[in-house]
């Protein structure tokens, strides 16, 4: 392939992994700016009610987008394995299968959201005083679901072959556009929360079509050709397995957060607004660890396909140490500057809102190391053709989080409303899941005999991975 990319199967492991990861981290940070721009501008110019409406909408949109992201991430893992193995026939055909599969599922999702928007809002226990605002925002922003599919598909494709920089560049352009349109639609045009939503949709469309045009125009090796439009049962089954299981993992993760949002909504507008701001800060804080986990997954997948088990072992050690150091530093920073971070989004006079949000951040932020470890494990299992294990780990972690959230929130005399609604569960689900994963890691070789896709892999690789799983 005549393509400018980073070859993850050669070179020094740690620098190679970081060079590939940094654009992904920056790209996802830019993607969060879409919603951050809405939060900042809405919070300062439209008031607490509008801020709460946008925040609650954000949680739902994250869940919906996670479905598409999971589908694209799953297919991207398959692309990476094929690319690492230099199996270009399967790579080309899998691109077409993935595009059709994910595109159809996205269409169904989009239609379902529009049909059942009101029931979804009912499940979220949206207060009556912001119901109209939230519905107005959601109706507009949901028109961008198709654009997020296009962007994530082409971004996953490019990243799978080692190009993590191009998606970043186009996303950066669209973020600037989003902020400009936010200011235009909300201030001079006075479109309210709908203006913030349409600004996001337009920016998403620009990033999606720009990336698609770039891929077809500048990277002809990645175009879908007529000869690629072939449905092989084998390829379709593997793409479906990767995509659907990763989709389940991502959606379950965010479904748990959505359920917690419903609990938070029952506490009133001020708490909703505090949770809105705190979650955005929280997301930005650990997002680099999540993106590093995705880059780590691509690294493992390419080397897994190339049967470079020595690089897999080195990559695991490097990834674990990098994640630990980053998350430890971020934990300290968030704990120390929680109030100041809250005041970046709301006026200093909103003392109750700031106090409540800061309490959330201090407890949640204290356990970023455990969360970062989980992201590595998700990517690890996805990369070695065991995406189902990521689903199991997610169900365990989020199930624990949701159950404890509702139980602890019912004891206000012991645990304040927001501060212990969600974050108190972080050390529990993180540590519990990590411990269980280490126990499971020692059984990878045994599981290989039950997993047909692993039978063709050199047993030496599986043994090496198994050994490393129990050592980091």
Residue 135 has pLDDT above 80, yes or no: yes
- Token readout for 9 is 């199967």
Q: How far apart are CA 217 and CA 215, in angstroms?
A: 6
Predicted local distance difference test score (pLDDT) of residue 409: 66
Lowest mean pLDDT: which of 39-53, 82-96, 245-259, 299-313? 245-259
3-state secondary structure of 337: coil
- Which of the residue ranges 84-88, 199-203, 210-214, 372-376 would you say has the lowest mean pLDDT? 84-88
Predicted pLDDT at 147: 94
Q: What is the pLDDT of residue 411?
A: 63
For residues 298 and 283, which has the higher predicted lDDT (pLDDT)?
298
| Extents of the domains making up the chain | 13-469
Do the beta carbons of residue 82 and residue 305 sit within 8 Å?
A: yes
Q: Which two tokens stand for residue 82?
A: 């094929």
Contact 265, 120 (CB under 8 A): no
Per-residue confidence (pLDDT) for residue 466, from 0 to 100: 45
pLDDT in tens, 408-424: 666 654 444 444 444 44
Element (H, E) at 145: helix 145-160
Percent of the chain with pLDDT over 70: 82
- pLDDT at 33 (0 to 100): 66
- Asked if residues 162 and 149 have their Cβ atoms less than 8 Å apart, the reply is no
How many CB atoms are closer than 10 A to CB 436? Answer: 15
When mean pLDDT is compared over 164-178, 389-403, 456-470, the highest value belongs to: 164-178
Residue-wise pLDDT for 329-369, tens only, equals 999 999 899 888 888 877 777 788 888 888 888 888 788 88
Alpha-carbon distance of 215 to 271, in angstroms, equals 44
Q: Give me the pLDDT at residue 37, please.
A: 66
**pLDDT class for 435, splitting at 50, 70, 90?**
very low
Residue carrying structure tokens 């799983």: 469
Is pLDDT of 429 > 60? no
pLDDT of residue 333: 92
Q: Looking at the predicted structure, is the pLDDT value of residue 209 above 90?
A: yes
The confidence score (pLDDT) of residue 224 equals 74
Give me the pLDDT at residue 410, please: 65
């Amino acid at each position: 392939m005549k393509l400018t990319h980073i070859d993850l199967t050669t070179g020094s492991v740690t620098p190679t992994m970081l060079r590939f990861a940094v654009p992904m981290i920056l790209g996802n940070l830019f993607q969060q700016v879409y919603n951050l721009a809405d939060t900042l501008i809405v919070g300062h110019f439209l008031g607490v009610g509008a801020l709460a409406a946008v925040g609650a909408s954000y949680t739902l949109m994250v869940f919906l987008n996670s479905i598409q992201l999971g589908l694209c991430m799953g297919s991207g893992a398959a692309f990476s394995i094929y690319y690492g193995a230099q199996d270009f026939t399967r790579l080309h055909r899998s691109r077409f299968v993935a595009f059709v599969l994910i595109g159809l599922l996205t269409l169904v999702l989009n239609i379902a959201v529009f049909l059942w928007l009101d029931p979804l809002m009912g499940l979220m226990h949206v207060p009556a005083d912001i119901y109209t605002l939230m519905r107005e925002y959601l109706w507009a922003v949901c028109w961008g679901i198709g654009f997020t599919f296009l962007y994530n598909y082409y971004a996953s494709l490019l990243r799978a072959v080692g190009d993590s920089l191009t998606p970043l560049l186009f996303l950066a352009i669209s973020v600037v556009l989003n902020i400009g349109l936010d200011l235009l639609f909300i201030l001079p045009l006075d479109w309210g929360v709908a203006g913030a939503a349409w600004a996001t949709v337009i920016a998403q469309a620009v990033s999606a079509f720009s990336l698609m045009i770039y891929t077809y125009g500048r990277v002809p090796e990645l175009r879908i050709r007529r000869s690629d439009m072939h449905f092989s049962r084998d390829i379709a089954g593997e793409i479906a397995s990767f995509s659907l299981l990763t989709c389940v993992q991502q959606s379950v993760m965010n479904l748990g957060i959505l359920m917690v949002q419903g609990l938070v909504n029952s506490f009133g507008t001020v708490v909703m607004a505090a949770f809105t701001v705190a979650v955005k800060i929280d997301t930005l804080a650990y997002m680099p660890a999540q993106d590093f986990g995705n880059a780590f997954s691509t690294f493992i997948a390419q080397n897994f396909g190339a049967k470079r088990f020595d690089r897999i072992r080195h990559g695991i050690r490097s990834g674990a140490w990098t994640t630990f150091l980053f998350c430890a530093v971020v934990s300290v920073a968030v704990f120390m500057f929680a109030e100041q971070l809250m005041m970046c989004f709301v006026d200093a006079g909103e003392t109750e809102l700031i106090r409540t949000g800061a309490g959330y951040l201090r407890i949640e932020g204290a356990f970023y190391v455990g969360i970062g470890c989980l992201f590595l494990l998700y990517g690890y299992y996805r990369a070695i053709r065991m995406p189902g294990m990521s689903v199991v780990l997610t169900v365990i972690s989020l199930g624990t989080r949701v159950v404890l959230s509702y139980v602890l929130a019912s004891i206000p005399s012991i645990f304040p409303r927001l501060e212990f609604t969600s974050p108190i569960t972080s050390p529990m689900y993180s540590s519990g899941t990590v411990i269980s994963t280490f126990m499971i890691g020692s059984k990878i070789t045994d599981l290989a005999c039950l997993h047909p896709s692993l039978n063709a892999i050199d047993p030496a690789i599986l043994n090496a991975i198994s050994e490393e799983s129990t050592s980091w």
